Chains A and B, each alone.
Chain A
Amino acid sequence: MEQLLVPMICKVDKVIQETPDIRTYRLKFREEGMMDQFTYFPGQFVEFSLLGSGECTFCIASSATRKGFFDCSIKKAGVVTADIHTSLEEGDEVGIRGPFGNWFPLDDIKGKNLLFVGGGIGLAPLRSLIQYCTDNRNDYKDFTILYGARTSADMCYKDEIKEWQDNKTLKVVLTIDKPEETWTTNVGVVPKILEEVVKPVIENTMVITCGPPIMIKYTIQSLVKLGFADKDIITTLEMKMQCGLGKCGRCNIGSTYVCKDGPVFTNEQLKNLPDEF
């Protein structure tokens, strides 16, 4: 297995400072042709090493339908991510292992209305799916994105959100936690806006949600209250992982390995897991 723990080298193509503490790194494989072999689906994750500092788990924030690169959005939170923020710049090299894990059920959501509910950095895995779905727009019906952040400055992918807002086939609802002078639209936490503003259609709709653990918890509660079936609520779990190969035992929730059986779960599956995430 040791060779599976050896990363491939990627070059940082571009660094985008999304918010004061979130950066998006656009990566390309150093070796020609590697990118073609790197097939991934929305929802999968990679092990990202800043060599010498350590390895972290990040979901891929872009879709394979956008060729030639992939994105990882990284929030400054721990030791390694702090090192990444301070030292990793354009042209630098990082190690990548992956892609690992399962992905969003792309076949199940075909022909459905889609509701994306994201919070903070939790928009990253959703962005991958949103890109995938907008690139195959005809496969899906109504398309709603609800995104919340603590403040307007903490919103990531501002340029892309603008694109989504300009796209007449998408409905975008943004919210922040506390009022700000320049903010003209919704204020309030995501579950509240979901119930009061978005008022989603239940029929033939799949909800995909990701965000901080506490947001996911209350969002799922409101979704269930609104009448969504558990199998129609899809989320991705955050768990500490190290190997990504179903060996190191960190991401166990009950007999489930989040790195192999997840990170994407429906609420139906989550209900059968012990409450430890």
Chain B
Amino acid sequence: MSVEIFVTDKAGLQKFYEAIMANHETYAPVETFGKFDFKRVARLTECDPESPVAKTRSIKPLFFPRTSRVMKYIATSAGTDVSETDEDPLAVKRVILGAKHCDARALQVLDKVYNWDYIDTDYQKRRENTVIISTRCDKADTHCFCTSLDYDVENLDAMDVLIVNGADGKIYIRAKTEKGAGLLNSEVTRHASPVTEESATPELKKQYDAFAASFRLRMDYAEVNAKLSKIFDTPEFENVSGNCVSCNTCAFVCPTCHCFKISDEKVKDAGVRYKSYDSCNNGYFTLMAGGHNPRPAKYRRWRQRAMHKFVYYKERFGENLCVGCGKCTISCPVNISIFEVVNQVAQ
């Protein structure tokens, strides 16, 4: 694929966004109660693709919904009839505007678990039918640490189209995948002009360097991986989890957490089965019917969370199950920071 880079200004970018909204099913951050959640939008005025990273939910629910119906059944005198629900996971193609690059990366991480052994076809279908347009952040938030993890933020290819606010005040639009190139060819040409890679690269680099310099949090992920894998029994987990209130918030807002539960709803003779988010911080998570619970104490659940993110997933699928977005820390009622936890434990 030849690299496609376009350059435009703020007005051109808005026209590009509007063109997308006019021609595609579009999802973008919409403000509700002071938080930005990705919702279906028809006009640019409804949403803010440049929403602040700290206040924006991840795009995970668009691929792995908070709740989905997995099957329905109806019991009659002739027998029970079980079927898939009629909900089509995703028939039409869609575009996501304003995804953060950490969220896009999270999908790459999730691909690994959804595509091993049994393949989650619904997830795959949603992935294939979605074009992700992501604006690279200009400045790191208090809890961001994406540059400290095992992926190259500068050359990330998790999004289909990358938008960068160049250091020279111009806006660069760059296709990262075939899907992205296709969208750009049909939508962007009227609002932006193509430039060569040589002329764009220095500006993109300058922007990235300024962004990378703005991080408060830095760590060496390889060191954390290595140290954590050796200290399963450290008492430090008790100290770091002491003030955890055992809610599920961190997992529900996390762009990479993927644990779910299955529950039934029954009305008379018919029922629906749901698949919804679940969290390992929940005391019931591993409680078995007989009363045996391998992780009854809070520190054990926190250990599972930290180790799953930085040791187990790495062992199994070769990636850290954390993209450094800081959403868990921001949302946590008592501001427990996964960054602080793994670093404090690893010391």
Contact = CB atoms under 8 A, between A and B. Distances in A.
A200 interface: no
B122 interface: yes
Nearest to A3: B84
B287 A240 contact: yes
A220 interface: no
B273 interface: yes
Nearest to B73: A51
Interface in B103-125: 113-114, 116-123
Interface stretch (A152-160, A163-171, A191-199, A249-257): A249-257
Contact of B286 (A75, A81, A250): A250
B266 A238 contact: no
Interface string A82-125: 00000000000101000000000000000000000000000000
B66 interface: no
Contacts of B121: 1-3
A77 B113 CA distance: 32
A51 B266 contact: yes
Contacts of B262: 5, 54-55, 242-243, 248
Contact of B289 (A8, A49, A81): A81
B80 interface: yes
A9 B82 CA distance: 8
A81 B290 CA distance: 10
Interface string A186-211: 00000000000000000000000000
A243 B278 CA distance: 13
Contacts of B113: 246-247
Contacts of A248: 259-262, 278
Interface stretch (B16-24, B157-165, B191-199, B291-299): B291-299
Contacts of B308: 249, 252
Interface string B271-301: 1010100101000011111111011000010
A95 to B, nearest CB: 6
Nearest to B262: A242
Nearest to A2: B70
A22 interface: no
B246 interface: no
A239 interface: yes
Contact of A55 (B264, B286, B287): B264
A240 B285 contact: yes
B260 A243 contact: yes
Nearest to B291: A77
Contact of B82 (A1, A7, A242, A276): A7
B243 to A, nearest CB: 23
B304 interface: yes
Interface in A116-174: none
Contact of A245 (B118, B261, B285): B118
A245 to B, nearest CB: 4
B311 A5 contact: no
B52 interface: no
A239 B232 contact: no
B339 interface: no
24 contacts: A1-B114, A2-B85, A2-B89, A2-B122, A4-B118, A5-B70, A49-B264, A51-B271, A52-B265, A53-B266, A77-B291, A78-B288, A93-B75, A93-B79, A238-B290, A239-B294, A243-B260, A246-B117, A247-B260, A249-B258, A249-B278, A250-B261, A252-B304, A252-B312
Interface of A: 1-9, 30, 49, 51-56, 75, 77-81, 93, 95, 212-213, 238-240, 242-243, 245-250, 252-255, 260, 274-277
Interface of B: 68, 70-71, 73, 75, 79-80, 82-85, 89, 113-114, 116-123, 232, 258-266, 271, 273, 275, 278, 280, 285-292, 294-295, 300, 304, 307-308, 311-313, 315-316
Given A6-B82, A243-B262, 10 more contacts: A1-B118, A1-B121, A52-B265, A95-B73, A238-B292, A239-B288, A239-B294, A246-B117, A247-B118, A250-B286
